[in-house]
Structure 1
Amino acid sequence: MKGTIAFSQPDLMELAAAQDSTGSQKVSATFKATRLINGHTVETNGAGELLFLISHRFGTLNSGAYHFFGLDQATIRLGLEYGISDDFTFGIGRSSLEKTYDGFLKYRVLQQQTMGMPFSITALTTIGVKTQEWFVPENNYKPAHRLTYTYQFLIARKFSERLSLQLAPTLLHRNLVETPTGENNIWAAGAGGRFKLTKRTSVNVEYFYLLPNTKSEQFHNSLSLGFDIETGGHVFQLMCTNSQGMVEKFFIPQNGGKWSRGDIYFGFNVSRVFQLKNKREEW
């Protein structure tokens, strides 16, 4: 009796999905989390995955000993992100800063491959709604004045197992600006990356540059430094940043902090992934 070798269909299908006829494979884990520091990364949640994100920023280090160098002051955001498919994620969140609610849609347009496609591209659109009461209630404000929109392309490349870099061209529209000379449309160029120190740790950097014609003198470019620790289903991100807000409407056009003045916020992100929907078994 001749021996036979049996191949299960799931193995063949997984091999076909991961590798095409040219031998090219999809590049995964460009970043370990859906956030680099404040901003998004190209990463999306897997289908049926629910991510719970806690973002926390203390006060500035230059607030002095009376405020325990910022530890007595805090801003927090709670968020939920769900993967409709491996490429499509939507999320909602609520920040204590200006009592802001936000939502976003995120779609991975292209994914880097070992041969052929040299980078990944993810499209992101967000909306922020300020619910804090107006300081001057007699003014004729409208509900639409509370809205801010962001449109962003995230373009990233994983150069090696250690180094990943990302660009983030951004357009942000505000229905209400702070001053009569303020711009409703804000153009910014984001850039950042990570360098892995060990299998589960990395150092990150993130910078958002406001184009000169849309930059107000009272606001500054956002610069953030971070350190990631992965522990199974959790990712802990520690950072120092000159940005207090944790959604685009704050850390891009309304960032009042300046590193040279000591306006440095220490903070962290903690994310946990829950698998709500079992991945469909192939036969």
Structure 2
Amino acid sequence: MIIRSWLFVPGDNERKLSKGLENPADALILDLEDSVADNRQEIARGMVCDFLKTNTERSRQQLWVRINPLDNPLSLPDLTAVMPGKPNGIVLPKVYSAEEVNTLDKYLSVLEVREGIEPGSTKILCVATETAASLLTFHTYLDNVSERLVGMTWGGEDLAAALGASDNRNPATGEYDDPFLLAKSFCLATARAIDVQPVGVVFVDYRALDALKADCLRDRRSGFIGKIAIHPAQCEIINDAFTPSEEDIAHAQKVIDVFEQNPGLGTVGLDGKMLDMPHLKQARNVIALAEQINSRG
């Protein structure tokens, strides 16, 4: 299932949890990490588990949980507390390599047995670039990473802290500095190489909705599908940006049609432009994405 918008919701805030259900976000990320103070972890775990158990109809909106990093002693209690609620997936932050994803896979396999959950049904989205070491280990995902991994996103804020940077953007242009562009590129390329969904990074200025739209469209042009949201108002814009327009679909269908009308040709002309196999692949991707989104009803 393609997820366009992933909205973070603090796991210890009953009002925000309830409001999240009314939001157009394709998925809620019930957060047990950064938005919850250590002395409220037990409260948050209980609230998240109850919320999961209460809201079992998830055909429109999936419910995921961000746990604490695996090198934090809070992570295993997080998992054991929320798995009775059968989350659609777990968001794994601050990874160093694919090893953490595979470790989480093993924990989930045990907990699924304990809770009577279908084996392998709990998926993983990893935040792949929040540590300095993670920039050097993307190759580890190319060999034998867990099939639970269905998405990768990258993190610019925690990475800045890990690298000792005072900011992650060039003050003159507003664009990401080189280390963060590297993280973004590695995340995209790796996700595509292992055929999981590449998810765009958070846009922290939640009031700048026009800038958010431009950032979403830039991500989409680059090859990302979907984006993390930190404010409820961002989700509608994200959904629109990552939904193929009628014009996109019509053009993609024209590309497919002209190739089908000329079987055996690797290059064809359309509207004064020469098209080849990569254009056909892109057109098919657009149609497939539109069909997946429309299938939600």
TM > 0.5 fold call: no
**Highest RCO, 1 vs 2 (Cα 8 Å, sep ≥ 6):** 1
More helix by share: 2
Q: TM-score, normalised by structure 2?
A: 0.28
More strand by share: 1
Computing the radius of gyration over CA atoms, which structure comes out larger, 1 or 2?
A: 1
